[in-house]
Structure 1
């Protein structure tokens, strides 16, 4: 039998940091110390001296976003059962840590009647991005161009992290008033609202949260295999399909990089080309940032090739980037993508902000 979890036992030695729904500790495991992340709602609150059971598979493989030891249980200090509550939607289904939540659209929800026959987004702009790191940049561009503070909802799909608590970006944007709320869909969980599918999540963002604009991406983390089809961002194309079916206005945020060492991600990433030009089968806006120099020319040519590959379903929209750097610098949360900050890969964030600027023109 092939074991997919690497189990360790450790003892909590020191608290390192705390965010909405999570706490990070140093944990002693044999002769070494490891950083361990606990989801408080699922596991309970470890204290110094507690024995913890850990999953260290991602840590020992040296993964980036998910490279923590994860606290699975406090065997000597199990949390009390939660009080009885409605809800029968199970997320992270049939895993040892499956979580039961109240879906916004299920029968026991106060929003069930509102969503039961909901079927139309009424032209709601939905900015779809491949990477979670695009979220604050999209919102920065949107706010800079809107001339007011639009109600922005974040819909998190399940291609990356499943618990939204893993995202300090979402917590920081909520605290700053940049997000009106969040919806976790599919196997993802922990948002202000839960939904079963991307479709019902978009409808909940519109009808329940009253969103003027939705930003939709996977959670932190991005699975890729270096193959044409083996990456989690394929779902970005399906999100555009869902948006169109429901009468929304899809905006495809380009994944762009000037610094990625991998050729397939320089300029416009092949992830954007595949998801938007081949997986998406519906009309959508393609904001193309007006970047300077050879990179700008390359991105422009790649965007034209995407439009042609999509049989002209993608509608190219040229977006100037003047002023967007200043808007990005005002972000209340750090800007980082694939380990690079704004100075190291400015083009990545300008492209996302350009999508936000275009979405503002649709309000």
Structure 2
């Protein structure tokens, strides 16, 4: 194990500090004259200014990685010829109070005693929703269920905005209020919620009723210790109609059957089922990905749902326009154990034009592995098909009703 440290000088700040999100983006000049972008966690330091000397963790960039592939400021060393100014934001200040729902504003990390990033130099105390000092402790001191709440489970972070867009489109067509959607972020990818541009956009649009981070992920409107209490918090603290659960940006894969962080999707199926929710799995499907393990129905989906999931889920699958594509999907399912373990729903996906209109309302590009809807329509068709099944469940129509 190794960490690559490098010193640098801040040359400019990019926009205003994301004080309501907990991160600041800056440009830095490294010792060899290279300029690069870096992210600064405002929970561990004051906002940076040009001239500040910083210590960077450059490990992921130097390894050429996508996941974690950016420089991070680990510490402020001072200013050129000066000491660091007095803090404008004290350590532990809740920098997300500006955007938290009114009913959650007293729920700040400075009040808690649960450590995240435990036994590291960046460990931090948060007020976990379950702990005795939490205003919601009594909710978790009793046995509770999800009361049949649909739980949309995905492997990739890019599934989140696409699913939200389609759920809102279905509500618009039905002439119904948009559902109250909570996002539950796992610790399988990025750990700070603030790293997600999609969450920032969804919050600015008012399309999320709140966010929950659990495990060592942090920065949600509500913090939780594990996936079970995170789901219960989505239902009983955020009062969501529906929860979408997936990791933050980034995913770890090794090209081996079980060595990928997305296998957690199977574990989430079990948690949602055990708590009395209805797990609905968003299958990862692509006919544009050049990697054989992700062509058609991703091997990740097959393993997560076939081996890791110890409870049944609703698994909607799209009947794609190209017969050969659907035939491949059916053959991949036949060779797996999915049909024996789960309730598969083969459905015609939404028209491409309607999906495009729903995504356009989001106002920002939605891509997966760099591919947008025109590049990989099957990927988005699978998400929208699953979101449609979850919406029917929410409307008490049943997942297999039109």
Give the TM-score range, shorter chain: over 0.9
Aligned to 2:116: 91
**Is the contact between residue 138 and residue 354 of structure 1 (CA under 8 Å) also seen in structure 2?**
no
Alignment deviations for residues 261-312 of structure 1 (CA, whole Å, 9 cap, x no partner): 1010011110000001111111110011222102233223334444xx0462
Match of 1:127 in 2: 152
3-state SS of paired residue (2:340): coil
Correspondences of 1:234-249 after superposition (within 5 Å): 234-249=263-278
Question: In the alignment, which residue of structure 2 is the partner of 1:142?
Answer: 167
Alignment partner of 1:317 out of 345, 348, 353:
345
By how many angstroms is 1:160 displaced? 0.3
Q: CA deviation at 1:105?
A: 1.1
Corresponding residue number in structure 1 for 2:73? 71
The answer on whether the counterparts of 2:45 and 2:76 sit within 8 Å (CA) in structure 1 is yes
Contact map agreement 1:303 1:316 (CA 8 A) in 2: no
Three-state SS of the structure 1 residue aligned to 2:346 is: strand
- Cα root mean square deviation, aligned: 1.7
Q: Which residue of 2 aligns with 1:29?
A: 30
Unaligned runs of 5+ in 1: none
Matching residue of 2:381: 350
Q: Equivalent residue of 2:332, what SS?
A: helix
Could you tell me how far apart the structure 1 residues matched to 2:333 and 2:360 are? 26
Q: Which of 346, 360, 363 is residue 391 of structure 2 equivalent to?
A: 360
Q: 1:194 maps to which residue?
A: 223
Kindly report which structure 2 residues correspond to 1:119-268, keeping only aligned pairs within 5 A, or say none: 119-146=144-171, 147=174, 148-268=177-297
Q: How does 1:255-334 map to 2 (within 5 A)?
A: 255-293=284-322, 294-306=324-336, 309-310=337-338, 312-321=340-349, 322=351, 323-334=354-365
> In the alignment, what sits opposite 1:335?
366
| Partner residue in 2 for 1:15 | 13
Misfit runs of 4+, over 3 Å: 78-85, 303-306
Work out which of the residue numbers 3, 6, 29 in structure 1 matches 2:4: 6
CA 328–354 in structure 1, closer or farther in 2 if over 3 Å, else same: farther
What is aligned with 1:45? Answer: 47
Question: Structure 1 residue 338: deviation in Å?
Answer: 1.4
TM-score (norm 2): 0.85
What is the aligned length?
359
Report the structure number with the largest CA radius of gyration: 2
Q: Secondary structure at the match of 2:74?
A: strand
CA gap 1:334/1:41 in 2 versus in 1, 3 angstroms: farther
Q: Take 2:23 and 2:182, find their aligned partners in 1: how far apart are those partners?
A: 22
Give the TM-score normalised by the residue count of structure 1: 0.94
Cα 1:290–1:145 change in 2 (3 A) is farther
Write out per-residue CA displacement over residues 131-164 of structure 1, whole angstroms, 9 at most, x where no aligned residue. Answer: 1110011112222223330000000000000000
Residue 192 of structure 1: CA displacement?
Answer: 0.4
CA contact (8 A) 1:257 1:266 kept: yes
Task: Report if aligned partners of 2:128, 2:224 keep a CA contact under 8 Å in 1.
Answer: yes
Separation in structure 1 between the aligned mates of residue 306 and residue 115 of structure 2, nearest angstrom: 33
Indicate how the Cα distance of structure 1 residues 354 and 17 shifts in structure 2: closer, same or farther if over 3 A, else same.
farther
